[in-house]
Amino acid sequence: MAELVKALGQPDKIEKDAVECGGHFENDKGDFYKYGPSLFEVNGKRAVMGTVDFSSGKFRVTIGEQVLDGNTTFEEISQRYPVAASKVQDWRPGGTTGPTYQGITIQEPGVDDSLKLYFQNGKLIRFHAFSPC
């Protein structure tokens, strides 16, 4: 948590005890630290990424050797994760209004958690670490 605040500063908003189900810290409630549309789950001194919005150009995430930022293309991800990319789905966060994005889900066999990546015009705009209830 200290590294998160050191890197990004104080959050725009803190939602206390907001994590009730599907959190990343098993059997523990947590807080949401919000930086614009980006969200991090915090429990005590621990923090994990929840949703990272790349449209501001402020964020860059490295997972293994893969760098994710607003310059990451759908083509790059589809080469690395061809099975996930073959199952691209449209996503419209506003329901029937607003822009439509293309989303893919990366999930290891036998694991409930997944990474969801959303693209607009072929560029990565959002990363979401999903953990079901």
Residue 17: pLDDT band by 50, 70, 90 thresholds? confident
Could you list the residue range(s) of the whole structural domain that residue 98 is in? 59-127
Tell me, yes or no, whether 133 lies in a domain: no
> Which of 16, 35, 53 is where one domain is finished?
53
Same-domain pairing of 65 and 122: yes
Q: What is the rounded CA–CA span in Å between residue 13 and residue 82?
A: 37
Q: How many domains does the chain have?
A: 2
Is 117 exposed, middle or buried (CB count within 10 Å of its CB: 0-12, 13-18, 19+)?
buried
Q: What predicted TM-score, i.e. pTM, was given to this entire model?
A: 0.82
User: Residue 82: which residues within 8 A CB-CB, separation 6 or more?
Assistant: none
pLDDT in tens, 49-63: 889 999 888 888 887
